[in-house]
Structure 1
């Protein structure tokens, strides 16, 4: 109901949330029917980065970022497509893609925090939706980067229970991210 009253950056954020919900449902459904679901990762990563780049483009309003954003996001989408097409191992987890996505997203979040500190126009951070989005992304992508760095080693050298525990931490990081997204969409942005 509030979608029409949301600023442009938060409208794109609802697109990110919708993409995440669709990806989670598709992945869970495939897992339930014992089908490989790792091919969803590159599709989701490409869509998430593209939409988050639009979110931060509308938030930052930097002309330089606006010029680079389509090329950066487009190059990442091409990389995702090539990675899936040239190396179609559906049963193997490939963390390089997720690490690159995390690096690019953390770069955009860094630009936001830089703008926030340089302009100092926000009187209450808890009432700033993009602050919540950025905090959620930092916590999520810093934690997931650690998992991605060691994932294939852990999958091949350690017990199944340890792997399940690590992916439970991954799920907890997603809960934190989704909670931050919901707070950002719930509060009314300041003028």
Structure 2
């Protein structure tokens, strides 16, 4: 049987490969950006944000043994970028309230970070930080946006395959990733250590799938005459 240290090593390799795969949609998105509609251009910027800040987060973890502040910034920006993409995609009359929802989310997140979860103490004293409430709220809101999009396309008459629709491809990726993440987040305390490592490795593969689906979406949207949801 393989040694436990070897398994841990290869799980780490898998994690970094899956994280580094964000380069694929970033390069594709920047290459085709001028041909993309506004909602997909926003997601290209989101991918670029993920690349830069996750890279800095990893540097902060290795150099300062503390990347708490960077990760919480990613959490807030991620919600705003994805929310903006769906703001320019959904066609419900009440979507004008999306900026207000984003502002309320940001306020609640900051309250959670600095009052409930003591982010500043975690940064200054290099403590483990858990933003439970913000993580749950962000995932629920993003999954809600995806479900609203699915409702919208169900109400429309489509003459083409949904898998040829860039925003549908994106939404499938988001639904898989955020539903998997929130499930693992809620059940991680019930999973023993070795199995938990495998669970996070599985989540890394889901993250890779999201990056590949984003790349496909950018390619679909860049093709002449391609209609989007």
Q: List aligned pairs for 1:18-97, cutoff 5 A.
A: 18-33=48-63, 35-65=65-95, 67-86=96-115, 87-88=118-119, 89-90=122-123, 91-97=128-134
Deviation of 1:9 after TM superposition, in Å, equals 0.6
Contact 1:49–1:105 (CA under 8 A) maintained in structure 2: yes
**Which residue does 2:12 correspond to in 1?**
none
Q: State the aligned residue count.
A: 186
Aligned CA-pair RMSD? 1.9
Query: C-alpha deviations, 1:115-156, integer Å up to 9, x for none?
Result: 1010123512121100111000010011001111133x25xx
Contact 1:42–1:81 (CA under 8 A) maintained in structure 2: no
Q: What is the TM-score normalised by the length of structure 2? A: 0.74
**Counterparts of 2:203 and 2:64, CA distance in 1:** 21
- Runs of 4+ in structure 1 over 3 Å off: none
What stretches of structure 1 of length at least 5 have no aligned partner? none
Query: C-alpha deviations, 1:34-90, integer Å up to 9, x for none?
Result: 61223333211211111111111111133311x210011111111222222222135
Q: What is the TM-score normalised by the length of structure 1? A: 0.88
Q: 1:172 to 1:34 in 2, by over 3 A?
A: farther
**Which residue does 1:180 correspond to in 2?**
213
Larger RCO of the pair (alpha carbons < 8 Å, separation 6+): 2
**Counterparts of 2:203 and 2:67, CA distance in 1:** 16
**Counterparts of 1:146 and 1:72, CA distance in 2:** 24
**Which residue does 2:180 correspond to in 1?**
143
Deviation of 1:28 after TM superposition, in Å, equals 1.8
Larger Rg: 2
> Is residue 3 of structure 1 aligned with residue 41 of structure 2?
no
Contact 1:42–1:97 (CA under 8 A) maintained in structure 2: no
**Which residue does 1:115 correspond to in 2?**
152
> Is residue 105 of structure 1 aligned with residue 138 of structure 2?
no
Deviation of 1:176 after TM superposition, in Å, equals 1.3
**Counterparts of 2:132 and 2:214, CA distance in 1:** 24
